Structure 1
Amino acid sequence: MESADETDRPAFQPVFENRVRFAETDQQGIVFYGEYFTFQDETVSQFFREIDYSYERMEADGWQVHVVNTELNYRDAAEFGDVLVNELRVAEMGTASITFEYRARRKSDDRLLADGSVTQVAVDLETEEPIAVPDAFREAVAAFQGGLETAD
């Protein structure tokens, strides 16, 4: 059941699926914890494509994003061959920052495997100084997932 706070937030969107490869597992036969950061990153990249705002479009518009923080919580183990559904939502957007919330679930039983967040800062492509997240990006996110919180 969702909390009252959760019902006011945009829903998670399933944006990336992957099958666990043998190379992503450790000696115990489960996904090595560091691989979830790669899954998280792939999910953010796919989210950008889903909202029609790829990295290439960012660069053409004169900006890019830099990761400034990432967190992951490990809830259960995934094994070789499992199909993972990676979900994402923009939870908060500040003047220059974008905070994504991430979840990975096993497709066969919908079990939550990992969740967390990643915060990125919009920067000018040439100076690499923080800039305001462009309105076109904000509008693309809102069109894809609905409303979101803003932060200063």
Structure 2
Amino acid sequence: MGDHAPSESERESDGPAFQPVFENRVRFAETDQQGIVFYGEYFTFQDEAVSAFFRGLGYGYDDMLEDGWQIHVVNTELNYRAGAEFEDVIVNELRVADIGTASLEYEYRATRKHDDEILADGTVTQVAVDLETEEPTRIPDEFRDAVAAFQGGLESDE
């Protein structure tokens, strides 16, 4: 961790641009005995990035419920690249990398604000579920359109 500075190709891949969705300043309570952010905290940051992304879309959890569906996390992965310390400001970025009929895959990235170093990156996979049947359901076009508008494009498996 931290020995390898990512190349430009590692920082940017094909597809829509990452969207900076929120910043957080590292609190003392988020650090471990080594003085860096405890690895588990990045899962919380990643989850908050998804919520902030929805707010940025203007199509949040309440809108999903009103439209008769919700979203369930089925997988999440994180890679740790470098350590963040107390008082560092972390920029949390997200993009929908792929959208299928009933599933979405987000790519997440956390960078240190003052030097743009990637601290962690990973993915979150979610499945759309019908509120009544609790079965997978098609992601509504309104949500797809909001994602495409917010991030400047959309990769789709449909």
What is the TM-score with the length of structure 1 in the denominator?
A: 0.94
What displacement does 1:151 show?
2.1
Which runs of at least 4 in structure 1 moved beyond 2 Å after TM superposition? none
User: For 1:149, what is the secondary structure of its paired residue?
Assistant: coil
Query: Is 2:70 the counterpart of 1:64?
Result: yes
- Cα deviation, 1:123-150, whole Å, max 9, x if unaligned, reads 0122221000010000000111122222
What RMSD in Å do the two structures reach over aligned CA positions? 1.4
- Which letter maps to 1:82? D
- Cα deviation, 1:62-106, whole Å, max 9, x if unaligned, reads 111000011100000001111100000000000000100000000
User: For 1:77, what is the secondary structure of its paired residue?
Assistant: coil
Distance 1:95 1:149 in 2: 12
Query: Is 2:76 the counterpart of 1:76?
Result: no
- Which letter maps to 1:122? A
Q: 2:124 maps to what in 1?
A: 118
Q: Identity, % of aligned pairs? A: 74
- Which letter maps to 2:107? E
Query: Is 2:143 the counterpart of 1:133?
Result: no
Note the residue ranges of structure 2 that are not aligned, 5 or more in a row: 1-7
Q: 2:56 maps to what in 1?
A: 50
What displacement does 1:2 show?
3.4
Distance 1:28 1:147 in 2: 40
Distance 2:132 2:28 in 1: 40
Please give the residue correspondences for 1:88-107 in structure 2 after superposition, counting only pairs within 5 Å: 88-107=94-113
- Which letter maps to 2:149? A
Note the residue ranges of structure 1 that are not aligned, 5 or more in a row: none
Q: Is the deviation greater in 20-29 or in 70-79?
A: 20-29
Which of 5, 10, 16 is matched with 1:10 structurally? 16
User: For 2:20, what is the secondary structure of its paired residue?
Assistant: strand
- Which letter maps to 2:101? T
What is the TM-score with the length of structure 2 in the denominator?
A: 0.91
